[in-house]
Amino acid sequence: MNRISEDDLHAYADGLLETARRAEVEAWLAAHPDDAERIHAWIAQNRALHAAFDEVLNEPLPLELVRAASRRQPKSVQWYRAAAAVFVVAGVGFLGYGIGLRSAGAPAQFATLPQAAAIAHVVYSPEERHPVEVEAQHADHLVAWLSKRLGHELHAPDFKAQGFELLGGRLLPGENGAVAQFMYQDGLSRRITLYVRRDDAKQAETGFRHAREDGIEVFYWVDRGLGYALSGNVDEAEMGRLADAAYRQISP
């Protein structure tokens, strides 16, 4: 078998390989679980991006932009104008994504917390084989490990009374250091995630705030030097009750 390169792995995740080369990559992944986990994460990210932006990218171009691109111009100018039109529409889509998470009236200093939490939820919650890095049977080790990495004592809330069991958790990179993510699942296979990061800006403690993005409900707050965000594709009222249960356990 020819050695599998990084380009091969990316092409596999994007579905661009021919059948023969795809089979070689799959054989490689079967023998290299670390690469297989990376592939799963890339595919999940691709799905999340498509879910967030395909609707915008598939919208018809504004009529004025179409007219501007179709006026009699040298071909090179027409091409640039058409490309610019697509870029503008795509840019509006990305801007709208950011605005959507700020639409609940959150101050600017809190805006990145629900955004980061929602993205992490969309990326990891669909995983079937590797949804978490450390499983729930090692919960004590998980909490101790994540607490050490964040430099702050953490707690994994118990949502059994609300019908959700802890699956486990993982360490994530954040804007200013390590981030913890705890994942839970109920009997209907619905998943929620609790995203926890240090609040290096030392924001004042806050009550619950709410954001929504592409069907993901996010309740978030800041308490004792940590920012928390609970995310899930669950009814807003139910998510609010879960967030209240988390807050009462974390900040008694």
Segment 141-168, tens digit of pLDDT: 999 999 999 999 999 999 999 999 999 9
State phi, psi for 70 to the nearest 5 degrees.
-95, -5
The pairing of strands 191-198 and 209-213 is unpaired
Range of the domain at 52: 6-57
Q: Is the pLDDT of residue 171 over 80?
A: yes
Say if CB 175 and CB 116 are below 8 A apart: yes
How many other C-beta atoms are found inside a 10 Å radius of the C-beta of residue 94?
12
Q: Are residues 27 and 67 in the same domain?
A: no
Q: Which residues contact 112 (CB under 8 A, 6 or more apart)?
A: 175
| C-alpha to C-alpha distance for 40 and 47, rounded to whole angstroms | 11
This prediction has a pTM of 0.59
Question: How many domains would you assign to the chain?
Answer: 3
Express each pLDDT in 22-38 by its tens digit: 888 888 888 887 788 77
Burial of 5 (0-12, 13-18, 19+ CB in 10 A): exposed
Q: Are residues 128 and 53 in the same domain?
A: no
CA 220 to chain centre: 15
Q: Are residues 71 and 87 in the same domain?
A: yes
Q: Are residues 121 and 144 in the same domain?
A: yes
Express each pLDDT in 111-142 by its tens digit: 688 888 988 898 899 888 889 999 999 999 99
Q: Which residues contact 161 (CB under 8 A, 6 or more apart)?
A: 245
CATH number reported for the structural domain that contains residue 156 in this entry: 3.30.200.100
Tell whether 82 is covered by a domain: yes
Q: Are residues 89 and 170 in the same domain?
A: no
The pairing of strands 209-213 and 216-223 is antiparallel
Q: Are residues 218 and 204 in the same domain?
A: yes
